[in-house]
């Protein structure tokens, strides 16, 4: 597989999600072999943090809401970068193997909750092929990681990576909150079972996956607000779904299965923490960030 970087620097700005600040990132071209690296541009002398699973601090449980790198003993918590998954997803889907992401603050901007803004900015800056090749990691025996039943659903979360003979990969995400909503909830809603799949086509990613926004249930949003989180975001700026009906509050869905598409977007971003492409068929069911990190650790 080819290596690629950006043809020029891309700059993206907006509010963050977990930290009440505005933030901006600059994505710069990098040399072949550098990989994707992040650095806190607001901290003098802050080291570069490779975007690989070894940079993810341990201790995140199944309810981990975003992907953080740095903050381990060797890096210093104040130099961590939060919510890297959407920009990582866009970079991976557009085939960028090498880039330096400068973050002016503790967190990558959330934009509209999707990766569309990152895709747009990277494409405007241009994607440039560079010398050298990147070897995919070929999965041999099947690897499965599993969580205890996720809150409310009574069903475990699971990700399976299986051997694939031909080059390339397929990533599928199965979203299913139906058990959490009781046996009476038979009608199709954005939270009933839906499966979405991607096999590496950048254009398909840009049109079908990148625009899907992050979401949370109304009960979760209320809990977060009690904890003082997201004080700066309204339901218009953040996709909040009614627990019982799956209907968006003060908002409209971009796709009937937008939540599943967003979970696939996250999966792509977190699998990129492998630092190289994967040759495997991956099926994720009800999983979140922490479980994908665990899979990547097992594969690394």
Which segment (145-153, 168-176, 191-199, 263-271) binds Zn ion by CB under 5 A? 263-271
Show the site string, 154-173: x = touches Zn ion by CB under 5 A, - = not.
--------------------
How far is the C-alpha of 88 from the C-alpha of 123, rounded, in Å?
14
Residues that contact Zn ion, how many (by CB under 5 A): 2
**What is the closest distance, in whole angstroms, from the C-beta atom of residue 266 to Zn ion in the complex?**
4
Is the Cβ of residue 194 or residue 214 nearer to Zn ion in the bound state?
Answer: 214
Record the tokens describing residue 59, joined without a space: 């201790």
266 binds Zn ion (CB under 5 A): yes
What contacts 59, CB < 8 A, 6 or more positions away?
Answer: none
86, containing H or E segment = helix 85-93
Q: Is 26 in the site for Zn ion (CB under 5 A)?
A: no
Residue 217 CB, nearest distance to Zn ion (Å)?
14
Sign, CA dihedral 260-261-266-269, equals positive
Q: Which residue's CB is nearer to Zn ion, number 89 or number 189?
A: 89
Stretch in the footprint of Zn ion (CB under 5 A) among 2-10, 136-144, 145-153, 264-272: 264-272
Query: Quick one: 42 or 147, whose CB is closer to Zn ion?
Result: 147
CA end-to-end distance (rounded Å), the chain: 19
Between 195 and 244, CB nearer to Zn ion = 195
- Which one of the spans 115-123, 135-143, 248-256, 260-268 is the region binding Zn ion (CB under 5 A)? 260-268
Is residue 289 flagged as an active site residue?
A: yes
**DSSP H or E stretch at residue 265:** helix 258-271
What sign does the CA torsion over 13, 17, 19, 25 have? negative
CB of 198 to Zn ion, least distance (A): 15
Output phi, psi for 88, to 5 deg: -60, -40
What is the pattern of x (binds Zn ion, CB under 5 A) and - over residues 30-69?
A: ----------------------------------------
- Nearest Cα neighbor of 261 from 93, 120, 28 is 93
In angstroms, the CA 268 to CA 288 distance is 12
Q: What are phi and psi of 299, to 5 degrees?
A: -80, -25
Distance CA 181, CA 184 (A): 8
Q: Point out which span in 39-47, 102-110, 134-142, 208-216 binds Zn ion (CB under 5 A).
A: 208-216
Nearer to Zn ion, 275 or 288 (CB): 288
Nearer to Zn ion, 178 or 214 (CB): 214
Considering the candidates 28, 86, 104, 289, report the single residue annotated as catalytic.
289
**Cα three-residue angle 192-193-195, rounded to 5 degrees:** 135
Cα dist from 2 to 82, 96, 133, 166, whole Å: 29, 9, 5, 17
Instruction: Determine the interface stretch with Zn ion among 98-106, 140-148, 258-266, 285-293 (rule: CB under 5 A).
Output: 258-266
Name the minimum Å distance from CB 214 to Zn ion.
4
Instruction: Name which position in 97, 114, 214, 292 contacts Zn ion (CB under 5 A).
Output: 214
Q: Is 107 in the site for Zn ion (CB under 5 A)?
A: no
Edge-first strand order for the sheet with 170-175 is: 143-146, 158-162, 281-285, 170-175, 194-198
* Residues binding Zn ion (CB under 5 A): 214, 266
Give catalytic residues, as residue numbers.
Answer: 289
């Amino acid at each position: 597989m080819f290596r690629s970087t950006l043809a020029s620097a891309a700059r993206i700005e907006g509010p963050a999600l977990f930290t009440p600040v505005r933030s901006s990132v600059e994505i710069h071209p990098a040399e072949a072999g550098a990989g994707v690296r992040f650095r806190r541009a607001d901290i003098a002398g802050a080291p570069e943090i490779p975007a690989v699973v070894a940079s993810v601090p341990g201790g995140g449980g199944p309810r981990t809401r975003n992907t953080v790198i740095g903050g381990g003993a060797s890096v210093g918590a104040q130099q961590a970068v939060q919510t890297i998954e959407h920009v990582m997803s866009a970079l991976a889907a557009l085939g960028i193997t090498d880039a330096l992401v400068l973050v002016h603050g503790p967190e990558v901007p959330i934009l509209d909750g999707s990766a569309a803004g990152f895709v747009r900015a990277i494409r405007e800056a241009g994607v440039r092929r560079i010398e050298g090749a990147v070897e995919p990691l070929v999965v041999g025996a099947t690897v499965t990681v599993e969580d205890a039943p996720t809150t409310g659903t009574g069903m475990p979360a699971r990700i399976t990576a299986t051997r694939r003979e031909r080059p390339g990969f397929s990533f599928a995400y199965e979203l299913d909150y139906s058990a959490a909503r009781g046996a009476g909830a038979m009608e199709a809603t954005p939270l009933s079972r839906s499966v979405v799949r991607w096999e590496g086509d950048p254009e398909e990613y840009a049109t079908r996956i990148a625009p899907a926004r992050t979401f949370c249930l109304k009960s979760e949003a209320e809990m977060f607000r009690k904890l003082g989180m997201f004080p700066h975001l309204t339901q218009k700026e953040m996709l909040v779904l009614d627990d019982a009906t799956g209907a968006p509050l003060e908002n409209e869905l971009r796709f009937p299965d937008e939540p599943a598409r967003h979970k696939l977007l996250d999966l792509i971003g977190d699998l990129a923490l492998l630092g190289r492409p994967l040759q495997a068929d991956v099926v994720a069911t009800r999983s979140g960030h922490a479980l994908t990190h665990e899979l990547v650790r097992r594969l690394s």
